[in-house]
């Protein structure tokens, strides 16, 4: 499995997590009982499916190796394995935070490093 995964979140919610030093998840994460992340090759599809037309988003790159046994890869969309975090994410696990500008068509501008 990949050692890095990605969380899409609103800029405001992420700022609160940074202030607290820990990210505990979105409302959906809390309801589901784990924090939803995507592997590198899953980010675009996740954005298109769940975040189209949403402004003020960021993409956080998370180092899964620092999260230990809280990381579980589980089957989800189409049977693909997704990284789910059963616990909070310390800001020390965050390697990068990328702004996701909203484009005119409702999609988001991703760095060229994404597939």
Q: Residue 97 belongs to what H/E stretch?
A: strand 94-100
pLDDT at 112 over 90: no
Q: What is the pTM of this model?
A: 0.93
Tens digit of each residue's pLDDT (9 = 90 or more) over 24-38: 999 999 999 999 999
Q: Can you give the residue ranges of every domain in the chain? A: 4-100
Which among 66, 73, 74, 77 has a CA at the least distance from the CA of 23?
66
Alpha carbons 77 and 56: distance in angstroms, whole number: 25
Q: Which residues pair with 72 in a beta bridge?
A: 84
What pLDDT shows up at residue 100? 96
pLDDT at 13 over 90: yes
What pLDDT shows up at residue 86? 98
Q: What is the CA radius of gyration of the chain?
A: 13
Under CATH, to which class is 4-100 assigned? alpha beta
Tens digit of each residue's pLDDT (9 = 90 or more) over 97-109: 999 999 999 999 9
């Amino acid at each position: 499995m990949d050692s890095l995964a990605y969380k899409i979140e609103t800029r405001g919610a992420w700022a609160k997590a940074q202030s607290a030093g820990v990210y505990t998840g979105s409302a959906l994460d809390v309801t589901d009982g784990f924090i939803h992340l995507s592997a590198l090759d899953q980010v675009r599809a996740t954005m298109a499916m769940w975040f189209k037309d949403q402004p003020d988003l960021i993409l956080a790159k998370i180092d899964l190796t620092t999260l230990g046994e809280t990381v579980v890869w589980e089957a989800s969309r189409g049977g693909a394995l997704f990284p789910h975090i059963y616990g909070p994410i310390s800001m020390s696990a965050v390697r990068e935070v990328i702004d996701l500008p909203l484009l005119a068509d409702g999609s988001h501008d991703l760095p060229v490093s994404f597939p």
